[in-house]
A and B are shown apart, each in its own frame.
Chain A
Amino acid sequence: MEMNSEKKIWADFRKGENYALSHIYHQHVQLLFRYGKKFSKDDELIKDTIQDLFFDLLRTRKNLGDTDNIKFYLIVSFRRKLLQNLKKQPLYVDSEVENISGTESVGFSEQELNGKEELTSREKMVQRGIRKLSQKQREILFYRFTCDFSYEQICEIMSLKYDSARKLNFRALKVLKQYLSES
């Protein structure tokens, strides 16, 4: 339906339409939570950050810019917020968080990489490969394959140059391919 286009929903959200808020929340809440889980094991912190994100959107809704990709807009804002909140946390931080506060690199944890309950044996092979990847490689795969983001968008999120983003992604895929063909 034409009225469901992202641009229209976003514009309606800015106008204050109830349905648009509901749509944006319900379409993305699971993705945001899953994404948050890659950075932190602290469910409460992730949920608080999601709520904060929406509070912010509502507070500033009239001044928000245009977008035709709501998912991208949310992921970018959520990432910024989550990293801030993780930094604010007291010092019982685990290694992942330290990593973030230090170098701005993201701790994409492996055990949360795929929440699928039942994996086929082939998928398990891929999973084994994923464990061998760097955090950045895992992160880019998430943007590319779960979020459907373009390289331009990924470059913006991860502050990478186009060529390095492609290289990062292809090296990761190559590792997975090797794990698949070993069988």
Chain B
Amino acid sequence: MELRYLKYSIEELADDKRFFAWILNGEKDQEWKIFIEKNPEFRIKVKRAREIVLSLRDTSNILDEREVLKMWQNIERFDHSHKRKTQTLKIRRSLYWAASFFLILCIGALSYVYFGARDSGYQFTYSDIINHNNEARLVLSNGEQIALKTNNSKILLKNDNKLVINNDSVIDLSKLEVRSGKRVQMNELVIPFGEKSVLYLSDGTKVWLNAGTRFAFPSRFTGENREVFLQGEAYFEVAKNKKQPFIVSAGQINIKVLGTHFNVSAYANDASIETILLEGSVAVRRQTSLGLRWNEVVLKPYQKASFDMQNNEVKVSYEPGADQYITWTEGWLQFSQESLQVVFAKLERYYNVDIKIPGNFNYTQLISGKLDLKKSLGEVMNALDDVAKFEYRMNGDTIYIEQN
């Protein structure tokens, strides 16, 4: 950190872009903190400048969601009618669009309702994420288990039925396929809490798997659909193939797509399944109570479908911050106006810890900013307790929160 900051007035500090970036996004957090520690007389200036920056920053959403939606519909309608007018020789362009659909889907999860195995019609080999040594592992369709050893592992399923782990070990899956019966045999990937992984499926689809996730996939997609099963959170970049739709089954719902990018988060202990779409079109489907047919909700860009498992209801709302739902693939978390409760729940998964919050804890505070998940949990908690008003105590894998 540059010494010239020490000579800055409160005004100059508040107006400094790098100071700004630290206060609002936590950029260079460690450097600032060390700098302040070394120069205690600087602290009061920082405090005042911070108060000014935070109270001048106006990010309130004062326009009602319904109004946002109404205006959007008008704009979309205008767009369509305007396009129709100008669309004379533009058939090629519409093809181009279809090819570049981009979307994000997110299925979220937070109470203790078990879903997954029974509902999606798929039974994972192991009922628990955690095995005795809590490591990421691949369970092949013949039951053979392979430990992945490293965090951020990369697994590639090649066209010739070979599976490559971390550009290193190669497994020939064609030898396993022989014993498969009438049903497509699935391989499973189990990612424990605190880790993540990238998987390339045989059709070219790329899947990022987040902490505490189980994912089942075939070595090759042979059926009518490309069906995979998810419990946890994943981000997909699906290879386009209209003839063979890609279907992600997650608990009581499934998501049908035709070649696009999306994020699904469906943890077993969450009360609702949330699906967020950034671009394109995707159908979120659930079975009717009799299980005879599917009810569908087709999402538009930046819409979120929340499926409440208890009431069996789907609500659709707008989610302007949809990008934030996939920042985990890049190793950081971004929040805007998020409650501490949600932040803690995510940290529990990423760092594989238990965060204990007192019953009388006041959650009204909303958090905005970035957390770097490559940093240690201690560093992340220090950054958080600076912004939010709480104190914490770490005892092994348990963190006790106290109201400040």
Contact = CB atoms under 8 A, between A and B. Distances in A.
Contacts of A27: 320
Contact of A115 (B48, B62, B300, B330): B62
B160 interface: no
Interface stretch (B72-80, B137-145, B246-254): B72-80
Contact of A177 (B11, B76, B97, B320): B11
B178 interface: no
A146 interface: yes
Contacts of A144: 15, 56
Contacts of B3: none
Contact of B279 (A18, A33, A126): A18
Interface stretch (A65-73, A76-84, A98-106, A116-124): A116-124
B79 A58 contact: yes
* 7 residue pairs, one from A and one from B, having the closest CB atoms: A19-B279, A115-B60, A145-B56, A22-B301, A173-B11, A123-B55, A126-B55
Contacts of B212: none
Contact of A3 (B10, B14, B58, B102): B102
A29 B56 contact: no
Interface string A138-181: 00011011101000000000000000000001100110110011
B172 interface: no
Contact of A17 (B54, B67, B75, B100): B100
A120 B303 CA distance: 33
B302 A22 contact: yes
B70 to A, nearest CB: 9
B52 interface: yes
A181 B53 CA distance: 15
Given A19-B102, A34-B62, A26 B72 contact: yes
Given A122-B55, A142-B58, A51 B301 contact: no
Describe B's contact surface by its main secondary structure: helix
B58 A126 contact: no
B318 A116 contact: no
A40 B53 CA distance: 25
A23 B326 contact: no
Interface string A7-37: 0000000011111011101110110011001
A29 B68 contact: yes
Contacts of B74: 51
Nearest to A180: B48
A174 to B, nearest CB: 6
A113 B63 CA distance: 15
A114 B55 contact: yes
B82 interface: yes
B318 A4 contact: no
A180 B52 contact: yes
Interface residues of B, number: 49
B203 interface: no
Contacts of B14: 173
A97 interface: no
A1 B57 contact: no
A81 B83 CA distance: 24
B372 interface: no
B60 A59 contact: no
Contact of A26 (B10, B102, B302): B302
Nearest to B101: A19
A99 B58 CA distance: 24
26 contacts: A4-B323, A17-B100, A18-B97, A18-B279, A18-B301, A19-B278, A19-B279, A22-B279, A26-B320, A29-B71, A34-B62, A54-B75, A58-B75, A58-B79, A59-B82, A113-B58, A115-B58, A117-B60, A123-B51, A126-B55, A144-B15, A169-B15, A173-B11, A174-B11, A177-B52, A180-B51
Task: Tell me which of A25, A27, A47, A146 has the highest count of chain B C-beta atoms within 10 A of its own C-beta.
Answer: A25
B41 to A, nearest CB: 15
A18 B364 CA distance: 37
Task: Tell me which of A16, A18, A29 has the highest count of chain B C-beta atoms within 10 A of its own C-beta.
Answer: A18
Contacts of A47: 63, 67, 71
B61 interface: yes
A141 B178 CA distance: 70
Nearest to A113: B58
A25 B10 CA distance: 36
Contacts of A16: 83, 93, 97
